[in-house]
Structure formats: C-alpha cells, structure tokens
Amino acid sequence: MSKENKLELYRMMLLIRLFEEALEEMFSRGLLHGTMHLSIGQEATATGACLALEKKDLITSTHRGHGHCLAKGADPYKMFAELLGREDGYCRGRGGSMHIADLSNGNLGANGIVAGSLTISVGAALSLKMQKIENIVLCFFGDGAVNEGSFHEALNLASLWDLPVLFVCENNQYGMSMASENAVAGGSITQRAESYGIKSVSIDGNDVEEVYETVSKCKEKIKSSGKPMFIESVTYRYRGHSKSDRNLYRTSDEINFWKEEKDPLKRFIGKLTEEKVEIDELKKVEVEVKNLIRESVKKALESPESPKTNLEEDSYA
C-alpha cells in the first residue's frame, strides 16, 4: 500500500472520529432533535471496507452508519445539515441520523431496522447481476442483526443465487446491552455463515489495513466467482448504544482496555510513525480534517431549515 493510500485511511478514520465528536457536542448543546448511534472506536471497519471499494460498488448501512457514509464519500456538510433538519441535508431533514442515503457515491442508505438492509442488499446484488454490472454490494450490519430472521433468509438466497454480496458483520460485541456471546447460539458467527455455503473469515476490525486488504481480496473473489462472501470484523464501541445508555452491561475496565490498547486510530498512527511517516504529514491531515469539520458544522448551522412542503405529496414519487 502506498503512503498516500495509508494517509487516506488515516484521514478517513480521523474524519469519522471528529465528525461524531462534533455531533456529540452539538447534541449536548441541545442542537439535535432525536437520538443517534455513534461508531466511535469502530472507524477502522468503515474506513478499511469502503476505501477498498470502487465508487460504483454499493453499500447498505445501519443505524450506526455515519462512518460508512463518510467513508463511501459523503460530504460532512450535507450530513450535519441532515441531522439539523436543514434543506441541504441528504434527506432534506426527513431522515436524520439513521436514514442517510447518498446514491451518488453508491451508498444505498442507512437503516433504522436491525437487519433491515440485509435483504435489500441481496436485491441490489441481483440488480447488478441481471444488469451485468461488474460491481459488488457490501452489506454492513452488526452482531445483533445475526439473530434476526432476515439475516437467515438473506444469506440463504444470496448463496443459492450466487449473488455478488460481501456481508460485513461489524461485531462490536454487543447488540445494545446484549453480549454477542449470549445472543448467538453456537457461539460462532462465521460458522453460521459457512452453514449457508458462504466462505467466511473473522478479522481484527480495529486494524484498518487488515480490513482494507481483506475487503479488497473478497471483492476480487466475489467478482471472479460470482459468489457471496462473509467477513466478521471484530471491533468495539466506546460510547453507549444510543443517548439513553447507562452502560450497565459492561465494565469501564473493558471500555478502557479497548480505548487504550486497541484504538484503531492510535494503533494506526503508531504504525505509520514506525513506518517513518513524518509527524508533520499526520499533523497536516489533522488540521485539514479539523477545518473541514469546523467549516461544515458552521455552514450547516447557518443553512436554511428544510421548508414545510406538502409532506403527503413528498411521500410518493
């Protein structure tokens, strides 16, 4: 991987981190209506996965989707605007945090329903196949989604029909308060995927390069074999599930362990420094990203509210 490439991975992880920290701050200042789900700590998976894709590859995302969205190329300004209910928002204030889609960059949309995008990704992959478009659909979902009926039906069909889907399970070890090990009978998410005849691999989801390399390889394999594949990307969420979470289901030791020992950004900065990337270069990226966030927030706050159009008409195409 070239240095530029690596700096791009760094830049994107940082962008996601700072984007969500900015959101947190806006929330605490009472600027945001509604809840939101932060992926702070999980940036490596979104970044590594999306940056390994081409623009025309598609993704489907989840309630915890800011990272996927940014990594697939979204404009942070339009995302902030969306969360603030502004006209320039991706959904003109109709979707909010859980429902940002960015079709121009191949993001078919976040989804508030756990496992809601799994069957959608299968349909999108069928479109690609029927239309002979040589791209793939990358479907993000959490460890909690693995126990929904939709997961089962989607994997079964994707495998039967040889559809170009890359299933990426972001196993952050909890579905809200439930530890994945208490929710997934049998204990292995990849073995479950294998039982549908889908090749599966489990990776360190906090190692952005490992994610990038694995997704790159899977993408090529899917294109050549025409068959779906499955990645379990093990990671960790630092923040509560959503804004109402008191974190009673886990220890602060556990959280701190991940923050200190396994943080994807820290680890990658360490690696880049080891590889003799100049501090200045990293600093330059940081300044650029901070500016981008600051400018985006400012512009979003100043942008006009989404007008009260005829919402009944807006409900139909």
Partner 1 sequence: MPEMTTGQAIKEALSLCLDSNDTTFIAGEDIGVYGGAFGVTDGLLEKYGHERIKDTPISEDVIAGLAVGAAITGSKPIVEMQFSDFIVNAMDPIVNQAAKLHFMYGGAVNVPMIVRGASGAGTGAAAQHSQSLESWFCHVPGLKVVTPSNPQNAFDLLLASFVDPNPVIFMEHKLIYKLKSEVNLGPMPSDSSELGKSKVIQEGNDITVVSYSNMVNSVISAAKEDSLTDYSIEIIDLLTLAPMDSESVINSVEKTKRLLVCQEAPASSSVGSTLISEVVTSRAFKALNQSPELLAGLHSPMPSAKHLETTVIPQEEDIVQKIKEMIENEQ
Ligand X SMILES: Cc1ncc(C[n+]2csc(CCOP(=O)(O)OP(=O)(O)O)c2C)c(N)n1
Q: Are strands 199-204 and 137-142 parallel, antiparallel or unpaired?
A: unpaired
The yes or no reply on residue 141 touching a copy of itself (CB under 8 A) is: no
Position 133 contacts ligand X (CB under 6 A): no
CB of 150 to ligand X, least distance (A): 8
Is there binding between residue 63 and ligand X (CB under 6 A)? yes
For residues 260 and 258, what is the distance between their CA atoms, to the nearest angstrom?
Answer: 5
Task: Provide the 3-class DSSP secondary structure of residue 53.
Answer: coil
Nearest Cα neighbor of 198 from 221, 180, 171, 170 is: 221
3-class SS at 109? coil
Number of residue whose CB is nearest Mg ion: 142
> Contact between 267 and a copy of itself (CB under 8 A)?
no
The size of the chain, in residues, is 317
Closest to Mg ion by CB, 147 vs 159, is 147
Binding site partner of 191, from Mg ion, partner 1, a copy of itself, none, Cβ cut-off 5-8 A by kind: a copy of itself
Contact status, residue 39 vs residue 16, Cβ threshold 8 Å: yes
Residues 172-191 interacting with a copy of itself (rule: CB under 8 A): 182-188, 191
Please identify, using beta-carbon distances, which residue of 181 and 281 lies nearer to partner 1. Answer: 181
Long-range own/partner contacts, residues 279-283 (CB < 8 A, 24 or more apart): 281/7, 282/7, 282/10
Instruction: Identify which of residues 113 and 287 has a Cβ nearer to ligand X in the complex.
Output: 113
Residue 61 backbone dihedrals phi, psi, to 5 degrees: -130, -175
| Contact partner, 172, from partner 1, a copy of itself, ligand X, none, Cβ < 5-8 Å per class | ligand X
91 is a contact residue toward partner 1 (CB under 8 A): yes
The angle at the Cα of 188, spanning 184 to 194, to the nearest 5 degrees, equals 115
The burial of 270, by beta-carbon neighbours within 10 Å (0-12 exposed, 13-18 middle, 19 or more buried), is given as: exposed
Q: The tokens of 157 are what?
A: 């069909």
Q: Which residues bind Mg ion (CB under 5 A)?
A: 142-144, 172, 175
Q: Which stretch binds partner 1 (CB under 8 A): 7-15, 45-53, 93-101, 284-292?
A: 93-101
Using CB under 6 A, count the residues that bind ligand X: 15
- Among positions 175-194, residues that touch ligand X (CB under 6 A) are 175-176
List the Cα angle 104/110/116 in 5-degree steps. Answer: 125
Binding residues for ligand X (CB under 6 A):
37, 63-64, 112-114, 142-145, 172, 174-176, 241
Binding residues for a copy of itself (CB under 8 A):
147-153, 155-157, 159-160, 182-188, 191-192, 194-198
